[in-house]
Structure 1
Amino acid sequence: MKTVKRIAWLMLVLVLLWLGASLATHSQNSVTDLEPSSIGELVQQLKSGSIQARIEATYTLSRIDPPVVAAVPVLIQALEDKDGLIRAASAYTLSQIGTAQAKSAVLQILPRLINTLVNHHLDDSYLRVRAATIVAIGAMGPDAQNVTPILIQALEDDREEIRANAAVALGRIGQPVDTVVPALIQFIQGDDLAQATGAYALSQIKSSEAEAAVLEILPKLIYTLNSNDQKVTAATLVALKGIGPPACLALLEEMSQTDLVVRKKAVQALEQIGETAISLLVQTLSSRDQKLRLSATLALGQVGASAEVAVPNLIELLDDPDQLICGLSAYALGGIGQAAKNAVPRLNELLSHSDQAIRTNAAYGLGGIGQSATMAVPNLIRTLNDSNTEVRLSTVHALGRIRAEAGVSSLIPMLSDKDEWIRLGVAHALGQIGQPAQAAIPMLIQSLLDEHEGVRHNAVNALILIGNPSIPQLISTLKNGDRVMQLRVIDVLGRFGKLAIPELQQALDHNNAEVRRGIISALGSIGVDAVPILQEVLNHKDSQMRWSAAHALKKIDSPAAKKILSEYLNRGR
């Protein structure tokens, strides 16, 4: 089994963006492992007749650990390819593979790569070749330091692609330090992309001057996370990861902001940074600074399952004398999810805590852990009677996420609660429980008339999630003379799709005309799958039934429905 490397630096991200490749397929987490057969397919793809396929295979091979030595001979041959993008990609990947043979081959082609940089062309295709070539040269590291003057000149290029890649390449080469660092410090005074790429480059160079410059630009990088430019955001995230602990601390400060968007961006950045960030967050849990502890706890919960390593520390904090820390730790454990199952016994106890915020977060934590928290269901059911609305609501959500069938009978009466948020939460929870919640169907149908749109929406979803047991009771409700209720039931039946067709077809013989017309309307909402049944109804002896079927076919408006309807109308002339 071979594991694909996480991209530890920015150059490949940028070149993929400028080559028009999707980051979704080349991101740090796009592939977790590759079978030997897949490796072989990639090597074969290097010989493809498609240039794009060869480029993608080449860059993918660059990210595999341990290196795919078997690809070296093919990649060395590709260094002489007539296509500049193929040459650049092959040189980059050979540098990443790093065997003596691979490095020697890249050094031999370096003069040609340099020639590509100095011979400027104005067309976009050659621009991409230059950008990719800079990536390849940067991957060579200090071995390419004779290219440093050319790359420093490229920092002033008219095209941002060239400037950004040149900056990061200089960071990888890093020599001579007394030349590279001043050039990069000047470069980061530019636009957002220059700040991100330049800061990343400086973070890779061991120099007190470079370190000081990075710390100075760091607040601007944090602000740049809000950019709408994909290249800037990608570059900033990787820069922050390259900077490491100082960036994590700066992001942690952002977690104390009241602006939810700012906090969300900070969490995303911490998650991208990965193990370094999580390790720092865990250490910060024992800080004397309450603000930092709270921010670290919140961040761990929002990072989610990848913060599993923090679970033992967070469980300890459930007994912290600071009630804010205790409550937020319960919340964080819920955010981490099933991996926090060892916290269930203590969270269960905290449902009886005197502080309502702790009770609320304890319920949230149990819900986040999910079905591994089943042992807490009896206590959660008792907590439904809590005097505090927030506690009750959090408990409702917990029972839904645990899929607690035992809680259904206690949840059903709460569909009539005076608080609309409780009703909304209960309808949602019953849907999460699914078919075991079928005892709630009559009350959920009544909730279709709730004054709150969200409650009605959740009731519809719950009836569908409960499944086929809902259908007969919905059909029966069509006898109700309330036209609003009839329309809403018809809408729900239509959303069941073709699964509802057999029962709807049987009900077409119902002795109540309102029910029959409602069923035909529901069949029309189901769409093309219901066309054969509606075609049969066009032959019904009841003219109202025929009219309803014709109207439903017109609503479906598929080619088959149009043909059937046209034939029916012509037949009546």
Structure 2
Amino acid sequence: KAATFILATEPPRYICSLQRERLIGLLITTLEDRNGEISQHAACALSSIALPSTLPSLCRLLASSQPQVQVAALVALEEIASQGTMRRVLQKHTLLPPVVALLRSDIPEVRRQASYTLAACGGEYVAAVLGTIVLDDDHPAHIEAIEGLRLLHGVLRRSTRTKVVGWLLRALRQTHEEVQVTALDSLAYLAWQARTRGQKKAYADISDEILEDGISLQLLACPHAWVRQRAIELLSILDHQPQTLHGQLIHLLYSDNDSGVRACVAYSLGQIAARWAIPDLIQTLLDSDEYVAQTALNSLGQLASPDDPVVVYILKELAGGSSTKELAVNHLTQPAQTLLKKWRKAGQ
């Protein structure tokens, strides 16, 4: 176990071809170890020393009757695909169809890892496979494919991005809660990835496609709280947010019957720097759910400053354990004191 961990974290830099081939053989054998942690370490170690000649051996492991061995082989292939040269080899190799076949496995973990492995390989063939499955509501890997699309190598390239966003928006029109949540998560991840990588055009295009489609805005009224929450998270990360979204968020903040949704709105308002929502967040300090009220206070701490006299006054009332009925919110006393102390230190 220790040896495979060291090989996974500190791969050998200088080994002769004979040593390399021997080590590859040992690691492939170790992929079949019953200890899942050891097999995972072996999979990671293989990524730095694998050769094209390694792939047929991994292909044989994919045909194993043991799901754990199949997963280990898939993880190894995913790790190998992180190397540019080997990824191009994988895209042209006959090994991909056996991986695709595992998307019909009865074991969810195998299906999920198969989708991750295919996504890491990328390419037109993989995109077509995952897209076809997303469009097939009855495929056993329907949800796994929706999740895999967010990780597709090269997904932010324009031609691929447009197709993927379209497939995910179509998935949102299904009524299955888990499908909608997974699609919302994938869209949010794509938008976040584009923004984080500084790909402004991709970020703007993804945001515009989602908002123009309109289904994500409609899901704010979905009967499933889990879906409403994920829709809020997606819409809050988008560029060019419409003014109408602000009113919808405030409506949910005040009236949604699920405390998780109200807390999600309060958090999101802080993340999008919505100073216009300060009065509404102040009102939310009186929410019957402690977590929602604390989240509103945290967002106020992000949006307001010592130069906002109304906020400072309310924080002082809360910090002092106000006896005023409207501000008798004892669970906010300590957080209010902490925030005021932070502001005082920043002003010194």
TM band (smaller chain): 0.5 to 0.7
What root-mean-square deviation, in Å, do the aligned CA atoms of Structure 1 and Structure 2 show? 4.7
Distance 1:375 1:489, change over 3 A: farther
**Structure 2 match to 1:237:** 44
Q: Is the CA contact (8 Å cut-off) linking 2:172 and 2:179 kept in structure 1?
A: yes
Shift in Å, 1:386 = 1.5
1:346 aligns with 2:167: yes
Shift in Å, 1:392 = 2.0
Secondary structure at the counterpart of residue 418 of structure 1: coil
Q: Is the CA contact (8 Å cut-off) linking 1:400 and 1:429 kept in structure 2?
A: yes
Shift in Å, 1:414 = 1.6
**Structure 2 match to 1:525:** 342
Q: Is the CA contact (8 Å cut-off) linking 2:150 and 2:189 kept in structure 1?
A: yes
Distance 1:468 1:354, change over 3 A: same
1:328 aligns with 2:165: no
**Structure 2 match to 1:563:** none
**Structure 2 match to 1:291:** 105
How many Å separate the matches in 1 of 2:131 and 2:283? 42
Distance 1:425 1:359, change over 3 A: same
Distance 1:392 1:493, change over 3 A: same
Q: 2:224 aligns with which of 355, 364, 388?
A: 388
Q: 2:261 aligns with which of 399, 422, 437?
A: 422
Name stretches of at least 5 consecutive residues in structure 2 with no aligned partner. 192-202
**Structure 2 match to 1:202:** 25
The within-5 A match list for 1:384-463 is 384-402=220-238, 405-406=241-242, 407-416=245-254, 417-432=256-271, 434-435=272-273, 437-450=274-287, 452=289, 454-463=291-300
**Structure 1 segments of 4+ aligned residues over 6 angstroms from their partners:** 251-257, 265-268
Larger radius of gyration: 1
Q: Is the CA contact (8 Å cut-off) linking 1:302 and 1:335 kept in structure 2?
A: yes
Q: Is the CA contact (8 Å cut-off) linking 1:400 and 1:428 kept in structure 2?
A: no
How many Å separate the matches in 2 of 1:374 and 1:355? 25
How many Å separate the matches in 2 of 1:318 and 1:347? 8
Q: Is the CA contact (8 Å cut-off) linking 2:253 and 2:265 kept in structure 1?
A: yes
Shift in Å, 1:363 = 2.1
* AA at the equivalent of 1:237: C
* AA at the equivalent of 1:388: H
1:376 aligns with 2:210: yes
Shift in Å, 1:395 = 1.5
Shift in Å, 1:220 = 0.9
How many Å separate the matches in 2 of 1:255 and 1:449? 55
Secondary structure at the counterpart of residue 257 of structure 2: coil
**Structure 1 match to 2:186:** 365
Secondary structure at the counterpart of residue 190 of structure 2: helix
How many Å separate the matches in 2 of 1:419 and 1:249? 49
Equivalent pairs counted in the alignment come to: 300
Shift in Å, 1:457 = 4.8
* AA at the equivalent of 1:219: E
Q: 2:38 aligns with which of 205, 220, 225?
A: 225
Query: What per-residue deviation string (whole Å, max 9, x for no partner) do you get for residues 223-265 of structure 1?
Result: 24389xxxxx4x66314774656557868989978xxxxx8x9
**Structure 2 match to 1:105:** none
1:273 aligns with 2:76: no
Shift in Å, 1:352 = 2.1
How many Å separate the matches in 2 of 1:303 and 1:458? 38
Query: What per-residue deviation string (whole Å, max 9, x for no partner) do you get for residues 169-219 of structure 1?
Result: xx34x7xxxxxxxxxxxxxxxxxxxxxxxx735359xxxxxxxxx54x532
Secondary structure at the counterpart of residue 225 of structure 1: helix
Q: Is the CA contact (8 Å cut-off) linking 2:96 and 2:118 kept in structure 1?
A: no
Greater relative contact order (Cα 8 A, min sep 6): structure 1 or 2? 2
Distance 1:494 1:393, change over 3 A: same
Q: Is the CA contact (8 Å cut-off) linking 2:236 and 2:268 kept in structure 1?
A: yes
How many Å separate the matches in 1 of 2:114 and 2:23? 25
Secondary structure at the counterpart of residue 322 of structure 1: coil
Shift in Å, 1:284 = 4.7
Q: Is the CA contact (8 Å cut-off) linking 1:297 and 1:332 kept in structure 2?
A: no
* AA at the equivalent of 2:161: K
Name stretches of at least 5 consecutive residues in structure 1 with no aligned partner. 1-9, 18-22, 29-58, 64-91, 93-137, 143-170, 175-198, 205-213, 228-232, 258-262, 496-521, 532-573
How many Å separate the matches in 2 of 1:255 and 1:400? 43
- Identity across matched positions, percent: 20
Distance 1:423 1:292, change over 3 A: same
Distance 1:323 1:271, change over 3 A: closer
* AA at the equivalent of 1:422: V
* AA at the equivalent of 1:341: R
Distance 1:447 1:363, change over 3 A: same
**Structure 1 match to 2:200:** none
How many Å separate the matches in 1 of 2:229 and 2:291? 15
* AA at the equivalent of 1:438: R
**Structure 2 match to 1:85:** none
How many Å separate the matches in 1 of 2:174 and 2:46? 44
Shift in Å, 1:463 = 3.2
Q: Is the CA contact (8 Å cut-off) linking 1:438 and 1:466 kept in structure 2?
A: yes
**Structure 2 match to 1:355:** 176
What's the TM-score once normalised by structure 2's chain length? 0.64
Shift in Å, 1:402 = 2.5
Query: What per-residue deviation string (whole Å, max 9, x for no partner) do you get for residues 108-154 of structure 1?
Result: xxxxxxxxxxxxxxxxxxxxxxxxxxxxxx53x56xxxxxxxxxxxx
How many Å separate the matches in 2 of 1:348 and 1:366? 8
Query: What per-residue deviation string (whole Å, max 9, x for no partner) do you get for residues 413-466 of structure 1?
Result: 22242212222322333333x12x333323333434545554345434433444
Shift in Å, 1:380 = 0.9
How many Å separate the matches in 2 of 1:266 and 1:458? 43
